[in-house]
Structure 1
Amino acid sequence: MATEAFPSSGYATFRRRPPWDGPAPRLPEAVRERPERMREERFAKLAAKDDPSGTVNEAQSVAIIADGVDAFLRACR
């Protein structure tokens, strides 16, 4: 069974679709890629501002953040 989202006054209203209606409609490729592209653009801007020489890449930044989150969660236990 597929789920379909409809715009509403809050965020979205979800409705279950029966299997005989076929698959839920997919967003166009450009729209599906937008969040990833926006994240990459934002990272590039921050990296250029805070690290003009470009010595830290995105994967290293994500690893540093993940290590910090893990340390925080361990401390909260």
Structure 2
Amino acid sequence: MHSDDRQTVFGYDDRHLLFRLVVEVGEGPADGQIVGMTTLVRCRSFIGWLYLAAAIPFHKAIIPSLLMAVERSG
């Protein structure tokens, strides 16, 4: 894991996937902040590809909802 004032990187590696989640915080308009998230995945096997294919639709639905929740709570 890497973390500083503007960026945190979480990671997990297993036999099938190498996974990283990068959360970045930047300056926004009117003294606000902009939060961005990037997911990096490297498949290491066919099972990794199958897992990723099943997870992507959920990922696309969940991440925007999480970011909206952060925006509302801030």
TM over 0.5: no
| Structure whose CA Rg is larger | 1
Query: What's the TM-score once normalised by structure 1's chain length?
Result: 0.29
Q: RCO (CA 8 Å, sep 6+): is it higher in 1 or 2?
A: 2
